[in-house]
């Protein structure tokens, strides 16, 4: 599996044998990667494509000093299962988006 960032298309891509099998789409605002959608080809859902794509994307954001706002349910749940990535999350903005009052 090949993983890559396509910044001009605002997405991270997973490719197998020249075929795109997964994408994680984001919007970039003030160094915040707002992940809005992740999709994996149904034929590859059990192959770990989504998890590899999430890890790759979040590691890339971390390496480049950004933060994430996981609006996408897949990315949000992946971060909950991998709490070492929680420090990348802009919780204040995420709470505002979700209409949550927080005392963080």
Domain ranges of the chain: 2-98
Q: Please report the pLDDT score of residue 102 as a whole number.
A: 56
- CATH class of the domain at 2-98: alpha beta
- % helix / strand / coil in the chain, to the nearest 5? 45, 35, 20
Is the CB of residue 45 less than 8 Å from the CB of residue 22?
no
10-residue block means of pLDDT along the chain (104 residues)?
97 96 96 96 90 98 96 97 97 89 58
This prediction has a pTM of 0.91
- Residue 94's closest CA among 35, 38, 53? 35
């Amino acid at each position: 599996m090949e993983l890559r960032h396509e910044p001009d298309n605002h997405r991270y891509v997973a490719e197998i044998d020249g075929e795109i099998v997964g994408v994680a789409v984001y919007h970039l605002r003030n160094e915040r990667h707002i992940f809005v959608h992740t999709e994996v080809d149904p034929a590859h859902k059990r192959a770990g494509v989504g998890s590899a794509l999430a890890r790759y994307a979040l590691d890339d954001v971390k390496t480049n000093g950004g933060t994430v706002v996981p609006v996408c349910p897949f990315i949000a749940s992946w971060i909950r299962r991998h709490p070492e990535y929680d420090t990348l999350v802009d919780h204040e903005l995420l709470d505002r988006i979700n209409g949550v009052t927080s005392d963080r």
